[in-house]
Structure 1
């Protein structure tokens, strides 16, 4: 190695220039084949998304700017439907009812599902237990709604028969304005809590077991480990679960349609049922599309806000 001009230490030898070689014809052909295979796998899902989601969404956006009753061509009205929405008392009532339902459903479902998931994680690893927990989710929502509708009937329902046998007055669970929304929310909690618990349980499986062993060595109780280890490390999973359950709660329809049909006195007329009523009973497709767009914007805003507040992109496991 040649010496530097000062003579103190040898001068560094410059590194040879990097020569970028063009990809060989065989490499380019292989990449093209891989791209074609990837496109073939993606194509069915992309086609389904375009036909059943993207195109209906774009059509709905267009219809929301028109006056359309299905029997006549759409007439462009600009933002007229949205201006009408601001003065629609039924829409605002449906918004309040939907928020009441979401609050009860999300609050109870999250707490119960989290408790079930923690118990499964800490006490048992039985596949049979997990299967039993998720079983209600496999039953169709309409079937669940009908079964509970009969069980909670004020006249012949088995629940009210039991209340009468205990000397209590029967309760019109679906027919009383006070009880209707909580009843529908709890019915859906019963059906979905097993699936939600399974999602949370999958997140619990990713928490290293040595953290619990170290905390137990230090004398921490189960309650202390839950608040100091489980909840902080489960935050990203809980954020995703909350977004999924929140979106599903805002879209509740079938339970309301089967049991109360929006009654009594609009006490259970949620946004989805109001959209159904406008579109398929009143044939006011333009205004129904405007309400649907507003619901879409609400769901996007709620999901983005939840992910930001819960810092779902961060994990304490790192």
Structure 2
């Protein structure tokens, strides 16, 4: 009895060095590219640093400046507006696409087609849509003129710039998000749907009573990942509007870029990064708690 108990423990202990060898490259990459830059950024956030002189410790002055910075709060508001539009539309459309694939077809070809926009670089997608939506030469505005609608400066008006950028990124990411949700749907046992169909339940009723409750853990993880990713929007803004018109698209990442690489105020940019990290960490924890991501209804 003792021998059978000790053998698995010894086997697991012997596997530890092998596991450490496989984990070492990832651990080194994490330390070099994530942990060290994070610690360095936290340190620089308490300094005045412009690359032209060594960092000078100034305590919490950068954070005091952040809380009183009108442009910071404006950029945060613009980012939240983008996230709400992007995530709201993307999640609803992706959920619908995933459910249709799950209930009607599981074709690998369809899944591959859905993933194609995500495989194109975000900068390329932004430039293509920027050209297509151009107020003078864009094919979209030419089509609008054919049906009697005046041209629209999609990227050039304060009221349409952020919604346009959000919809461009919805187009690129919705297929990938749908596949993530589809993976969660595959974990739901078919017997639940078969039993519901036997009882005469409609597709809509099965969606609300079976699909959504059992999909909650996967959907919570998808929402956390997509919301954090949406807060990191930068490249689309950088190659199209560059924060304009009149700060209408100056998202938080673009504001950090301006402070660090245009004004060379690295200490203040680091403080904004730390503030954004705190906001995203709090938001992610709230999401996981409210959506009960660690619980499942499959028991």
Could you say which TM-score interval applies, normalised by the shorter chain? Answer: over 0.9
Kindly state the Cα deviation for residue 86 of structure 1 after the two structures are TM-superposed.
Answer: 1.3
State the Cα distance separating 1:104 from its structure 2 match.
Answer: 0.2
Give the drift of 1:23: 6.9
Match in the other structure for 1:143: 124
Deviation at 1:21, TM superposition (A): 11
Between 240-249 and 214-223, the greater mean CA deviation after superposition = 214-223
Cα deviation code 1:283-316 (max 9, x no counterpart): 0000000000001001100100000000000000
* Rounded Cα–Cα distance in structure 1 between residues aligned with 2:257 and 2:73: 16
| 1:175 aligned onto 2:167 | no
Tell me which residue corresponds to 2:182: 201
Cα shift at 1:33: 4.6
SS in 2 for 1:226: helix
1:38 is displaced (CA, Å) by 1.1
Query: 1:95 and 1:277 mapped to 2: Cα distance?
Result: 14
Higher helix share: 2
Task: Summarize deviations over 1:228-249 as a string: whole Å, max 9, x none.
Answer: 1000000000000000000000
For 1:92, the equivalent position in structure 2 comes to 73
Aligned to 2:206: 225
Tell me the residue number matched to 1:234. Answer: 215
Mapped partners of 1:157, 1:31: distance in 2: 63
Match of 2:42 among 27, 45, 61: 61
Which of 282, 285, 289 is equivalent to 1:301?
A: 282
Paired with 1:133 and 1:62, the residues of 2 have a C-alpha distance of 43
Q: Distance in 2 between matches of 1:78 and 1:268?
A: 31
Structure 1 residue 189: Cα displacement: 0.4
- Per-residue CA deviations over 1:23-75 (Å, capped at 9, x if unaligned) read 79xx86x6665222111101000000000000000000000000000110111
Whose RCO is larger (CA < 8 A, sep 6+)? 2
Task: Give me the whole-angstrom Cα distance separating, in 1, the residues matched to 2:5 and 2:200.
Answer: 63
- Equivalent position to 1:160, from 121, 141, 153: 141
* CA distance, structure 1, for counterparts of residue 22 and residue 2 of structure 2: 36
Residues 208, 280 of structure 1: alpha-carbon distance in 2 compared, 3 angstrom cutoff: same
Aligned counterparts of 1:217 and 1:39: Cα–Cα separation in 2 = 51
* RMSD (CA atoms): 1.7
Given candidates 75, 92, 101, the residue that maps to 1:120 is 101
The answer for the alignment partner of 1:191 in structure 2 is: 172
SS state at 2:256 partner: helix
Deviation, 1:113, is 0.3
Scaled by the length of structure 2, the TM-score of the pair is 0.96
Change (3 A) 1:19 1:167: closer
- Structure 1 position 36 matched with structure 2 position 23: no
- The number of equivalent residue pairs is 298
Question: Which of 16, 23, 27 is the equivalent residue of 1:46?
Answer: 27
Shift of 1:135: 1.1
Q: Distance in 2 between matches of 1:37 and 1:160?
A: 60
Matched, 1:83 2:64: yes
* Cα distance change of structure 1 residues 147 and 21 upon mapping to structure 2, 3 Å threshold: closer
Residues in 1 aligned to 2:290 and 2:4: alpha-carbon distance in whole angstroms: 48
Alignment partner, residue 9 of structure 1: none
- 1:276, 1:180 → 2: CA distance? 20
For normalisation by structure 1, the TM-score amounts to 0.91
Cα distance between partner residues in 1 of 2:5 and 2:287? 47
Q: Could you tell me which residue of structure 2 aligns to residue 14 of structure 1?
A: none
How far apart in 1 are the matches of 2:244 and 2:213?
Answer: 42
Structure 2 partner of 1:274: 255
